[in-house]
Amino acid sequence: MPIFAIPYPMIDPVLVDIGPFPIRWYALAYVAGLVAGWATARYLVGRDKFWAAGQPRPSVLSIDDLVVYIAVGIILGGRTGYVLFYNLPFFLAHPVEIPKLWTGGMAFHGGLVGAVLGLWIFARRNKIPMLTVADVVAAGVPFGLLFGRLANFIKPELWGRETDVPWAMVFPGAGPLPRHPSQLYEAALEGVVLLLILAVVIRRGGLRRHGLVAGLFAAGYGVARITAEFFREPDPQLGFLFGGATMGMLLSVPLILLGLVIVADALRRPAFGTGEVPPAIGKGMP
């Protein structure tokens, strides 16, 4: 083990107390992610250069409603996913703890399912192809992942495995040995790298192919998450499942496969503006 380790920067998880109500970094991360996603979506749908003439897309004003659908889906789905996949015995014994979101415990994969349900409802009500809405939403999700992982680091939680790398840290509550700052790895991979990849694809006309951006996000997130899981300490209540696999790895595999299928289908179809006939508005979601 290393003689020296980088000191963990002790940051109060509560930014400020307003009377009896503490404002936590964890909550601010969700707010910042939603605001960044909202701004990204409004920017994309408001710029004709990203779309082909006649291609159906959400209006700028409708994005305000979309954020509400997505926010509710993320919160309900994220908490439900954590309860079911990561700590079900505890919550069965202590059901009163389930709504206590401020104590931590949100699963990305569950939040994703909730978000997809929310955008599906939005697409149906606004008579816009679901994959088009998914593309717009996916473009801004890396912001939320970036802020969320930074909040994990500040709390701190979801730290890495024991290591002797020069940038290892000793996390409060994780024992005396230095560990990978895996929250920062995830912030870089799931946030910065994925954001840059999607930005390049969008600038090269990615939004003119239904599902391309959303599929790339799904596959890219799955690869990034599995990579980070090799450095992240498994959840103590689950540990390693089999062959060194973790729950995060297992839940990411179908996400990668689904993403690749969506990407392949998007590339198989002609892009808007190159002879493709737009789907009939209101006659089913692709």
Annotated binding site: 149
Torsion angle of the four alpha carbons 35, 37, 39, 44, in this order, in degrees rounded to the nearest 10: -170
Dist. CA 215–CA 263, nearest whole Å:
5
Q: Which two tokens stand for residue 8?
A: 């963990």
Dist. CA 127–CA 123, nearest whole Å:
6
**8: helix, strand or coil:** coil
Q: Which two tokens stand for residue 157?
A: 């939680």
Q: What's phi and psi for 169, nearest 5 deg?
A: -130, 150
**Residue written as token pair 């970036």:** 146
DSSP H/E element including 109: helix 108-126
Q: What's phi and psi for 174, nearest 5 deg?
A: -110, 10
User: Pairing mode, if any, of strands 21-24 and 14-18?
Assistant: antiparallel
